[in-house]
Amino acid sequence: MPDTIHVRDLLLRAVIGVTDEERRDRQDVLINIDFDVDVRAAGQSDDIDDTVNYRSVTKQIIGLIEDAEFRLVETMATKVAAICLEDQRVQAVRVTIEKPQALRFARTVGVTIERVQGNI
């Protein structure tokens, strides 16, 4: 059973959606990521080089979200998962992306995807 590194409630602003209004104004997106990683080496060495540097991965994700425009949350989640899997130590990743207030009477609407190393 792999260990898991979590990134919770990464709140970013993105151009995402299919309507003209959604394409015109940036909207909040909430991102949660679970990295399946064996952290035993890092647990022994206390060295960042022995684990996934979630700070650098998160910076790449922020750059993606801020620089790109998406029509679908599914596409955004797929691209985020691909960034996470660039580090070969990540065995699998689960990405949940939510658009708060995307649907009337719903707090949030979102998608969760899971991808494994070598099968993006």
Q: CATH number, domain at 79?
A: 3.30.1130.10
Phi then psi for residue 7, to 5 deg, are: -120, 120
Domain total for the chain?
Answer: 1
Helix (H, G, I), strand (E, B) or coil at 19: coil
Strand partners, 96: 32, 112
Q: Would residue 59 show up in a list of annotated catalytic residues for this protein? A: no
What is the residue-level pLDDT of the chain in tens, covering all 120 positions? 679 999 999 999 999 988 878 788 899 999 999 999 999 999 999 999 999 999 999 999 999 999 989 999 999 999 999 999 999 999 999 999 999 977 788 888 999 999 999 876
- Of 17, 52, 85, 99, catalytic: 99
Domain enclosing residue 7, as ranges: 3-116
Q: Which residues contact 60 (CB under 8 A, 6 or more apart)?
A: 83, 86
Q: How many CB atoms lie within 10 A of CB 13?
A: 12
pTM of the model: 0.92
